[in-house]
């Protein structure tokens, strides 16, 4: 297989996925979101098993209501047909009727499809805030 380093046009195209992604999440437009995904996309949400294939839509239906989502790609690199990007995000979700602010980071893998469009192939993210109780558990495991 022939690979080439990403061009500035490729990097811009990958970064341009951000706006339709955030719009789809906030509007809960799962059809629009799924159109951004590679057919074999793997979603690795925090503190949950990975999600693939026919389980994606039902997982999305249970996703918290997102009131605000902003993210920025800090770095994009790769060789066609694959690219990896990482960055940071802020979002506000509704939990028990109250807004909860979350700040975190992510890594996304992209694959160029047969039509030349970059699609999300794998996604993983987590919060910058520690999970309640995680520090105590980690400390207990280190001393055991």
Range list of H helices, 16-104: 18-27, 30-35, 56-61
The Cα–Cα gap between 15 and 62 comes to 27
- Identify the structural domains of the chain with CATH numbers, from first to last: 8-143 (3.10.450.50)
Per-residue pLDDT tens listing for the chain (144 residues): 556 799 999 999 999 999 999 999 999 999 999 999 999 999 999 999 999 999 999 999 999 999 999 999 999 999 989 999 999 999 999 988 899 999 999 999 999 999 999 999 999 999 998 765 555 544 444 444
Q: Give the per-residue pLDDT at 129.
A: 87
Range list of H helices, 16-108: 18-27, 30-35, 56-61
Q: Give the per-residue pLDDT at 130.
A: 73
Q: 23: which residues sit within 8 A by CB, 6+ positions away? A: 29, 32
The Cα–Cα gap between 74 and 130 comes to 22
Which secondary-structure segment (H or E) carries 10?
helix 8-15
CA dihedral 39, 104, 69, 84 (to 10 degrees): -30
pTM: 0.85
Q: Give the per-residue pLDDT at 132.
A: 59
């Amino acid at each position: 297989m022939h690979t080439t380093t990403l061009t500035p046009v490729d990097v811009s195209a990958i970064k341009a996925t951000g706006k339709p992604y955030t719009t789809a999440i906030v509007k809960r437009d799962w059809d629009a979101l799924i159109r951004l995904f590679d057919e074999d996309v793997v979603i690795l949400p925090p503190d949950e098993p990975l999600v693939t294939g026919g389980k994606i839509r039902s997982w999305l239906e249970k996703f918290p209501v997102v009131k605000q989502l902003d993210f920025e790609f800090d770095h994009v690199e790769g060789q066609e047909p694959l690219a990896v990007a990482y960055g940071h995000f802020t979002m506000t979700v509704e939990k028990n009727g109250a807004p909860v602010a979350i700040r975190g980071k992510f890594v996304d893998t992209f694959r160029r499809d047969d039509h030349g469009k970059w699609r999300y192939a794998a996604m993983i993210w987590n919060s910058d805030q520690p999970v309640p109780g995680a520090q105590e558990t980690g400390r207990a495991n280190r001393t055991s």
